Amino acid sequence: MTARPPAHLPFQLASAYTLLALYGSLYPFSGWRDSGIFPLDFLSTGWLRYTTTFDLVINVFAYLPLGFLWATVLSVRLKPAAAFVAAVLVGGLLSLGVETVQNFLPSRVPSNLDFASNTVGALIGAAAGLRWGRDLLDGGRLHTWRERRFLTGPTGDRGLLLVALWLLTQLNPETFLFGNGNLRGLLGLPAALDFDAGRFGELEMATVAAQTVAIALVGSRLATNHPVLLPLALLGAALLVKSFALMLLMDGVQGFAWMTPGTLGGLALGLVLWVVALKLPAGDQQALAAMALMLATVLANLMPDNPYLENTLRIWQQGHFLNFNGLTRLTSSLWPFLALPWLMLSRNPA
């Protein structure tokens, strides 16, 4: 019996999650200065008075996937005990590194409790990864189901990773629904247009419609045997994630702030256009998805700042979610520029 070759998806997921965790932990990358203290002094400090149990639980859960994914990857090459130790070390050293670097960021406070809870999260994740990781991601039952239901090979792996990142972008409360690709925040650029309620609603509807067409066609490409079910499930999951994020980050209010006339109209129009596009050849569908994504990205950068959204965000307690803020903002801004090459390079023949 020959050994099965390792799957690419676990390593890609582990690498992507590590980079996102690194970025989120050091966001916003501004105001660097030397605090004048030894960088590792935080290891011997006491309990910070503003540290809550909720913060510690969040830190544990933030590093749990990191340990899970790296244990899954490393178990292919190493014995179980060695893979476990190595995965915990990856999480612990990453946390130690970012906490040390946070000494030089005025918006960050390094904490030995954060380091400890992150390491505990990596440890729990590594134990779970050894037990279930390969079954889920590399040759087990779920992996076999994924190979049967979705596009296979590296192209399918990257496509599923893009879909996972797209769902992550819905955790960003700073954007309207599906408003990915806006680079103004990253580059510090002003809005190109002044706010006008009527024009904003029209641009919002067009942007949401274009993004809906694009992501639905991506889903249809990934699930060739079920080109309707996956896109509908994906869009439904995105709406749930967006609502959950708004409720969580805004203390239980404004969970359906995304539900505007422009958004609802854009969703309806996008779904209709997607159903029509399903009658096109596969290659044309993918080309249409790329064009829709480019249109949505251009419109997202043209959108004026919405004062109503800004007022809603005033109640957002960003201090407790600074890592998520940086992570989701970066992912939201860059997602179309990651998806476009995938659409172009993996295009089916017409």
> Per-residue pLDDT tens for 229-239?
889 999 999 99
Domain boundary among 146, 171, 194: 146
Contact 126, 14 (CB under 8 A): no
51 plus 132 within the same structural domain: yes
**Same domain for 170 and 48:** no
Domain boundary among 106, 122, 146: 146
Range of the structural domain that residue 311 is part of: 152-345
Q: Cis link prior to 28 (omega < 30° from 0)?
A: yes
Q: CA-to-CA distance for 78 and 276, rounded, in angstroms?
A: 50
Whether 303 and 204 have beta carbons less than 8 Å apart is answered as yes
Nearest by Cα to 133 from 72, 210, 213, 217: 72
Of 87, 119, 146, which residue is a domain's last? 146
Distance CA 24, CA 188 (A): 18
Count CB neighbours of 93 within 10 A.
12
| pLDDT of 3 strictly over 70 | no
Residues 108 and 161 in one domain: no
- Quick one: pLDDT at residue 256? 78
pLDDT per residue over 79-133, tens digit each? Answer: 999 999 999 999 999 999 999 998 888 878 888 888 999 999 999 999 999 988 8
At 5 the pLDDT is 44
Domain count, the chain: 2
The pLDDT of residue 282: 87
Q: How far is CA 206 from CA 194, 237, 280, 303, in A?
A: 18, 21, 22, 11
347 exposure class (CB count in 10 Å sphere: 0-12, 13-18, 19+) = middle
pLDDT at 283 over 60: yes
Q: Quick one: which of 329, 239, 342, 337 has its CA closest to 297? A: 337
Least confident of 147-151, 191-195, 315-319: 315-319
Q: How many CB atoms lie within 10 A of CB 247?
A: 15
| Token representation of residue 122 | 């990596």
- Residue 349, CA distances (Å) to 84, 215, 279, 338, 345 in order: 44, 19, 15, 21, 11
Residue 341 lies in a domain: yes
The two tokens of residue 307 are 């004062």
* 3-class state of residue 348 by DSSP: coil
The SS3 call for residue 281 is coil
Q: Are residues 70 and 109 in the same domain?
A: yes
Longest distance between any two alpha carbons in the chain, whole Å:
67
For residues 130 and 272, membership in a common domain is answered with no
Do 124 and 62 form a contact (C-beta atoms < 8 A)? no
157 with 140, same domain?
A: no
Asked whether the beta carbons of 187 and 247 are under 8 A apart, the reply is: no
Q: What is the pLDDT of residues 314-343, one digit of tens each?
A: 545 454 455 556 677 888 888 999 999 999
User: How many C-beta atoms lie closer than 10 Å to residue 244's C-beta?
Assistant: 13
